[in-house]
Amino acid sequence: MSPVLESEEHKALRAAVSALGKRYGRDYITTINKEGRHPDELWSEAAELGYLGVNLPEEYDGGGGGIAELSIVLEELGAAGCPLLMMIVSPAICGTVIARFGTEAQRRAWLPALANGTRLMAFGITEPDAGSNSHRITTTARRDETGDWLLTGRKVFISGVDRADAVLIVGRTEDARTGTLKPCLFIVPTDTPGFAYRPIDMELRAAEKQFELTFDDIRLPADALVGDENAGLLQLFAGLNPERIMTAAFAIGMARYALARAVDYARERTVWGQPIGAHQAIAHPLAQSHIELELARLMMQKAAHLYDAGDDAAAGEAANMAKYAAGEACVKAVDQAVHTLGGNGLTAEFGLASLITAARVSRIAPVSREMILNYVSHQTLGLPKSY
Ligand SMILES: Cc1cc2nc3c(=O)[nH]c(=O)nc-3n(C[C@H](O)[C@H](O)[C@H](O)COP(=O)(O)OP(=O)(O)OC[C@H]3O[C@@H](n4cnc5c(N)ncnc54)[C@H](O)[C@@H]3O)c2cc1C
């Protein structure tokens, strides 16, 4: 499979998801946001059609594909104006980690349900005091004499916890509390006694909310641990690389949606006797954004291809670059789209201005622009570290 030229299967998947997305469209998201609801209908239908679990193994009711296919699904729903943010987390991070490192019982318990949309999993790594420096996370697990785990920690900005059945929490074991991060992953059901969460008041207009989590010595069974407690970063990045690729898909989809609205408007809107799109000051930035999105998508496809081919090391660099390119292209495209609509760019009727805030998410999360530039400076270019 070429990472550059899309296969006929991928084109067909793109077209089918796009058709589903257009049936819901931006109006659906606007309506559920107003009503304070969640995109349950779209989530269920996408699951029924096999799109949510397209990356999960066939023996657990998934589609047997990879992140390449899952990123197509998210990009096309986004381009139709109705992205499903939790796809980045539930099937992409949690599904992948459980499929690759979970026990047979964990796979049976979670994968078919994540694929058919009946269960949802959130993912928690970010901590208030560690921020971008995940090596400083302090969520700590210790085993008691019964073999159970006792988990203590605090997490922030965790998406979708109110809707999730469990959160895949990144912690460290007691003996690995200091020094280099040796992360270990725990499935924490959201109804675990002592597991508390409260919404963070965000300036984002989206159904998916972010939460602060607090838990102090909550008791988890021995089999809450996913994979090997000593496997370290390999297991974590099995989830973080898909997350970066999917965030690129989220950004590209959103940007394509905004750009398409701007192009339609620029064709129609006439103020000096000709459509505003005839002015190069309007046309060129839109053309530039289109090119930048195509380039970002190429990088995303490369990253997905490497990841699905099992080349975790090369996929890491490519996933970072794809997330960077897509985030930057998205921020610029959305800004230009709003500008193209003049005053209408700021009206609720056209609904573009709220995307300015949404677009910024892809520059900050799950890893910020600066941390990617740090990574490329040090890992790719071999420049010295300042920190
Ligand atoms: C909408 C949304 C949803 C999210 N969902 C989740 C989720 O589901 N699960 C989860 O675990 N997390 C989630 N996050 C958290 C997200 O991953 C973090 O916000 C992100 O990693 C940045 O961490 P921070 O906010 O602590 O910023 P900080 O680390 O405090 O960084 C602040 C600024 O300083 C810069 N900076 C920091 N260190 C350096 C350096 N060494 N060199 C140069 N610049 C630097 C950063 O680039 C950034 O611009 C979400 C965030 C948002 C906004």
Say yes or no to pLDDT of 281 above 90: yes
What tokens were used for 214? 């607090």
Measured distance CA(236)–CA(125) in Å, rounded? 10
Say yes or no to pLDDT of 176 above 60: no
Q: Report CA(97)–ligand 1 centroid distance (Å).
A: 22
CB of 233 closer than 6 A to ligand 1? Answer: no
Please state the atom number of ligand 1 nearest to the C-alpha of residue 370.
Answer: 47
Handedness of CA 31, 37, 38, 41 (dihedral sign): negative
CB of 236 closer than 6 A to ligand 1? Answer: no
- Region 283-301: what's the mean pLDDT? 98
Place of tokens 């349900």: 113
Please report which confidence band the pLDDT of residue 126 belongs to, taking 50, 70 and 90 as the band edges. very high
What tokens were used for 292? 């930048």
Measured distance CA(321)–CA(318) in Å, rounded? 5
**0.95 cut: is pTM over it?**
yes
CB of 372 closer than 6 A to ligand 1? Answer: no
Q: Could you tell me if 206 and 192 are in contact, meaning their C-beta atoms sit under 8 angstroms apart?
A: no
Kindly give, in sequence order, each residue whose CB lies less than 8 Å from that of residue 272, ignoring residues fewer than 6 positions away: none
121, 123, 132, best to mutate for ligand 1 pocket (most atoms within 8 Å of CB)? 132
Q: Could you tell me if 341 and 348 are in contact, meaning their C-beta atoms sit under 8 angstroms apart?
A: no
Please report which confidence band the pLDDT of residue 28 belongs to, taking 50, 70 and 90 as the band edges. very high
- Region 246-261: what's the mean pLDDT? 98
Place of tokens 């657990």: 60
By DSSP bridging, strand 166-173 and strand 140-143 are parallel
- Region 52-72: what's the mean pLDDT? 98
CB of 50 closer than 6 A to ligand 1? Answer: no
What tokens were used for 48? 């029924």
Q: Which residues pair with 159 in a beta bridge?
A: 210
Q: How confident is the model at residue 386, as a pLDDT?
A: 80
Per-chain mean pLDDT for the chain = 96
